[in-house]
Amino acid sequence: MFPKAELEATARALVAPGKGILAADESTGTIKKRFDTIHLESTPETRRAYRELLFTTDGVEEFISGVILYDETIRQQAQDGTPLPQVLSRRGIIPGIKVDKGAKDLAGFPGEKVTEGLDGLRERLAEYRELGARFAKWRAVIDIGDGIPTRTCIMANAHALARYAALCQEAGLVPIVEPEVLMDGSHDIERCAEVTEATLRAVFGELYEARVYLEGTLLKPNMVIAGKKCPRQASTQEVAEATVRILRRAVPAAVPGIVFLSGGQSPVQATENLNAMNAMGSHPWELSFSYGRALQEPVLQAWRGDPANVAAAQQAFYHRARCNSAARYGKYTP
């Protein structure tokens, strides 16, 4: 296993005061969906230009500790020929890499998924470290619906997350452990709380069985929130209180930080919810962000694929990053 002190130092740097993570690890299929919303063709070059725009935003290193990359991006170069991971690390931003191969149908369990990608992972992690990555991400997806999730689905995903995390630590990469309970659906906040607690307890049980060093990990969970189609949407204060209550029950204090996903919340909502949690007082772990859509939606809208809009798009990214940085201290004002 890699020196524990280094893993812990990286994990702590990723949740340094006032800083959080940009998730820019959309797979080729997902970034195409994002580009579709601005009627932009998704090609290796448009994807490269977009990621370069994000990574070269002036001053954003004050708020962004790390960026999660996709396999294609970690191999691409900026216009001046600098590899994109080096564009980040030169500015003190830690490059990370998405290493799962996506959520696939779980055989025998209609409507449920299990994340694939363990075969050959040891070799892929070694290569990503060579390319500059110092942390990784694996996303498991738990859907709420009639009779789901099942215990089988939760356990299969928790087990895969633990095997991934152990391999990462062996390779010198901090594993971000991401069990996402989806906010699609019409369930209420109580149901989300129940499923999130069961999922997190299973995940930390499996991490223990796999001998994962918790001080050298980060957790990336969903917030406890009502489903998008639920007629009763919870207030910011309710979301903050329910989320912290469940996390306190299920997440060991040895974990240095919890970096939330945004999961389809609006950019402002994701910032407000994080802010409310940090305004509650101090917690056993840093409460931070690892947002994809909530950091990028305004950037895409400002950019629209036009080089003339790069400065405006970077301004939008800087603004959202700064708002979320303020939310790290519970000091965000809209």
Active site residues: 178, 220
Residue with smaller CB distance to ligand 13P, 178 or 272 = 178
Among 223, 261, 299, 323, binds ligand 13P (CB under 6 A): 261
Of 33-41, 191-199, 229-237, 286-294, the window that binds ligand 13P (rule: CB under 6 A) is 286-294
Is the CA virtual torsion 126, 131, 134, 138 positive or negative? negative
Cβ atoms of 305 and 46 closer than 8 Å: yes
Site for ligand 13P in 127-166 (CB under 6 A): 139
By the rule CB under 6 A, 66 interacts with ligand 13P: no
By the rule CB under 6 A, 294 interacts with ligand 13P: yes
Among 179, 292, 318, 327, binds ligand 13P (CB under 6 A): 292
By the rule CB under 6 A, 293 interacts with ligand 13P: yes
Q: How far apart are CA 30 and CA 35, in angstroms?
A: 9
Number of residues interacting with ligand 13P: please give it, by CB under 6 A: 11
By the rule CB under 6 A, 262 interacts with ligand 13P: yes
Residue with smaller CB distance to ligand 13P, 175 or 292 = 292
Residue with smaller CB distance to ligand 13P, 118 or 254 = 118
Helix axis angle for 267-279 and 293-303, nearest 10°, is: 150
Residue 94 contacts by C-beta under 8 Å, 6 or more apart in sequence?
A: 10, 13, 14, 65, 66, 67, 88, 134, 135
Q: How far apart are CA 122 and CA 170, in angstroms?
A: 9
Q: How far apart are CA 230 and CA 310, in angstroms?
A: 38
By the rule CB under 6 A, 263 interacts with ligand 13P: yes
Residue with smaller CB distance to ligand 13P, 102 or 284 = 102
Report DSSP state, residue 227: -
Of 143-151, 204-212, 242-250, 260-268, the window that binds ligand 13P (rule: CB under 6 A) is 260-268
Which amino acid is located at 201 in the chain? R
Residue with smaller CB distance to ligand 13P, 83 or 102 = 102
By the rule CB under 6 A, 34 interacts with ligand 13P: no
44-50: Cβ within 8 A, 24+ apart? 44/72, 44/76, 46/305, 47/72, 47/73, 47/76, 48/73, 48/76, 48/77, 48/84, 49/307, 50/300, 50/303
Q: Cβ of residue 38: shortest distance to ligand 13P, in angstroms?
A: 16
Residue with smaller CB distance to ligand 13P, 52 or 100 = 100
Among 291, 303, 318, 332, binds ligand 13P (CB under 6 A): 291
Of 4-12, 57-65, 258-266, 275-283, the window that binds ligand 13P (rule: CB under 6 A) is 258-266
Checking DSSP bridges between strand 113-115 and strand 103-105, what pairing results, if any? antiparallel
Q: How far apart are CA 82 and CA 76, in angstroms?
A: 9
Q: How far apart are CA 68 and CA 210, in angstroms?
A: 24
Of 33-41, 77-85, 114-122, 289-297, the window that binds ligand 13P (rule: CB under 6 A) is 289-297
Which phi and psi (to 5°) does residue 140 adopt?
-105, 145
Q: Cβ of residue 64: shortest distance to ligand 13P, in angstroms?
A: 14
Residue where the block lists tokens 């564009």: 87
The footprint of ligand 13P (CB under 6 A) covers: 23, 25, 139, 178, 261-263, 291-294
